[in-house]
């Protein structure tokens, strides 16, 4: 049944990766339909998307299998600490035994590469569905809104989706936090070390990319508002205080966007001939940068399940749901616990003393739960 038609609704990174893996595994190009209502926009919103992607070591391997080099800044070390508490954790390539711990890339650049790759293989993205499909893959979803900069929202449109594809995405938890996005320039410029600093009301990540740090600060709404409205000099002092003086002298901080943080979850990810993947199946707290990596694992696993022979569509999708259960729950539990439980964040120094803890954490960050 490999000539069944597959409609992928959503031409973001996860949807495109699904199409590319289907093609790699031998699914006929003419039996794949990519649908994105925004594809005909005069100015595609993704080109203005300021998000930075934390790509795990496993994700970089998946992309290389498809001949895609995202030109990511490779991370050699991750330094984790907790504000106001003793101890820290350093995870580096020597300890884990790899050449890098992952990489950082611009969302817009990676999405542009994926779309060029799909187009080069003769697969066109349509603004509307043409015909009925045997299998429907819902890969829509997005949480970014450029409220800090007044830009356009990158929220997806579901105008071409059946009502069954847009229901039952449950808001499990409102974290009462905002994620502030921006850029931090320092003297000297950052190298290949990423920083994660847990705070009483969230976490700060500083990720080196293009001679600057990408800033992702998850904090209370009040703190986010105060930081957004602060002057450049005050922003620098506030960030330096939170980081405990661990990074170089801060020159400027440019805020590019923000979005509210919540845990959204779909228990049933396969029903009939429809399957939900990526942000259509789960939207997680960004505290460990695992959301997109989880979605990429969704995409590859789904493609491998669909190309099975001798079983029905329903059985293939049920197999997919079974295969993804452990990884989804492991990543959900880890990110939700870190986001909610302050005692876990405070204990990071003690965790560093546990034999094998750094290597285990490194493996989880690189390959998944």
Rounded Cα distance, 73 and 193, in Å: 10
Say if 1 falls within a structural domain: no
State residue 88's pLDDT score: 77
Strands of the chain, DSSP E: 6-9, 32-35, 52-56, 73-74, 77-82, 88-92, 102-106, 125-126, 135-138, 170-187, 193-199, 202-209, 212-220, 249-265, 270-271, 274-276, 282-283
Q: Tabulate helix, strand, coil % of the chain (nearest 5).
A: 40, 30, 35
SS3 at position 51: coil
Cβ contact 27:302 at 8 Å: no
State residue 87's pLDDT score: 65
Say if 152 falls within a structural domain: yes
SS3 at position 333: helix
Q: pLDDT tens for the chain, 369 residues: list them.
A: 447 999 999 999 999 999 999 999 999 999 999 999 888 776 656 667 778 999 998 899 999 999 999 999 999 999 988 887 766 788 888 877 788 889 999 998 999 999 999 999 999 999 999 888 999 999 986 443 343 333 333 333 333 334 344 456 899 999 999 999 999 999 999 999 999 998 888 899 999 999 999 999 999 999 999 999 999 999 999 999 999 999 989 999 999 999 999 999 999 999 999 999 999 999 999 988 889 999 999 999 999 999 999 999 999 999 999 999 999 999 999 889 888 877 666 666 555 544 454 454 554 544 454
Q: Which two tokens stand for residue 353?
A: 């003393």
Say if 205 falls within a structural domain: yes
State residue 157's pLDDT score: 35
Sheet-wide strand order for 73-74: 52-56, 102-106, 73-74
Q: Which domain holds residue 22?
A: 6-367
Say if 29 falls within a structural domain: yes
State residue 91's pLDDT score: 83
Say if 210 falls within a structural domain: yes
Rounded Cα distance, 19 and 119, in Å: 11
State residue 148's pLDDT score: 37
User: C-alpha angle with apex 101: 100 to 105, nearest 5 degrees?
Assistant: 90
Q: What is the DSSP letter of 268?
A: -
State residue 286's pLDDT score: 92
- CATH number for 107: 3.50.50.60
Rounded Cα distance, 272 and 76, in Å: 44
Say if 56 falls within a structural domain: yes
Count: domains in the chain: 1
Decide: residue 242, CB within 10 A, 0-12 exposed, 13-18 middle, 19+ buried: middle
Taking residue 86's Cβ as centre, other Cβ atoms within 10 Å add up to: 10
Rounded Cα distance, 188 and 247, in Å: 9
Rounded Cα distance, 166 and 151, in Å: 25
State residue 43's pLDDT score: 61
Phi then psi for residue 71, to 5 deg, are 55, 45
Helix and strand tally (H, E) in the chain?
11, 17
Write the DSSP assignment of 3-50 as a string of letters.
Answer: TS-EEEE--SHHHHHHHHHHHHTT--GGGEEEE-TTTT-SS-GGGG--
State residue 227's pLDDT score: 97
Write the DSSP assignment of 52-99 as a string of letters.
Answer: EEEEEHHHHHHHHHTT----PEEP-EEEEEETTSS-EEEEEHHHHTSS
State residue 218's pLDDT score: 95
Say if 332 falls within a structural domain: yes
Say if 219 falls within a structural domain: yes
């Amino acid at each position: 049944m490999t000539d069944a038609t597959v409609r992928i609704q959503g031409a973001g990174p996860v949807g495109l990766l699904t199409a590319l893996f289907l093609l790699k595994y031998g699914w006929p190009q003419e039996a794949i339909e990519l649908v994105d209502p925004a594809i005909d926009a005069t100015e595609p919103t993704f080109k203005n998307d300021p998000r930075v992607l934390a790509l795990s070591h496993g994700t970089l391997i998946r992309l290389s299998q498809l001949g895609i080099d995202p030109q990511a800044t490779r991370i050699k070390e991750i330094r984790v600490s907790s504000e106001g508490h003793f101890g820290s954790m350093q995870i580096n390539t020597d300890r884990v035994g790899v050449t890098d711990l992952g990489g950082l890339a611009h969302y817009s650049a990676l999405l542009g590469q994926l779309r060029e790759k799909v187009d080069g293989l003769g697969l066109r993205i349509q603004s509307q569905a043409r015909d009925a499909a045997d299998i429907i893959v819902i890969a829509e979803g997005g949480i970014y809104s450029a409220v800090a900069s007044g830009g356009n929202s990158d929220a997806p449109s579901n105008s071409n989706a059946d009502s069954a594809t847009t229901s039952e995405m449950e808001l499990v938890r409102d974290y009462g936090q905002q994620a502030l996005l921006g850029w931090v320039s320092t003297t000297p410029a950052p190298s290949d070390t990423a920083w994660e600093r847990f705070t009483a009301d969230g976490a700060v990540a500083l990720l080196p990319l293009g001679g600057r740090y990408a800033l992702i600060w998850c904090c209370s709404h009040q703190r986010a508002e105060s930081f957004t409205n602060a002057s450049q000099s005050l922003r620098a002092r506030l960030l330096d205080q939170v980081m405990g003086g661990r990074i170089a002298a801060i020159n400027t901080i440019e805020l590019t966007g923000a979005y509210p943080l919540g845990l959204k979850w779909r228990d049933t990810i396969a029903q009939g001939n429809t399957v939900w993947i990526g942000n259509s199946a789960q939207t997680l707290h960004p505290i460990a940068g695992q959301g997109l990596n989880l979605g990429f694992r969704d995409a590859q696993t789904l493609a491998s399940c669909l190309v099975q022979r001798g079983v029905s569509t329903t059985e293939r999708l049920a197999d997919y749901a079974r295969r993804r259960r452990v990884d989804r729950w492991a990543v959900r539990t880890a990110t939700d616990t870190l986001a909610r439980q302050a005692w876990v964040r405070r204990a990071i120094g003690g965790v560093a003393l546990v034999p094998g803890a750094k290597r285990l954490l490194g493996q989880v960050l690189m390959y998944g739960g």
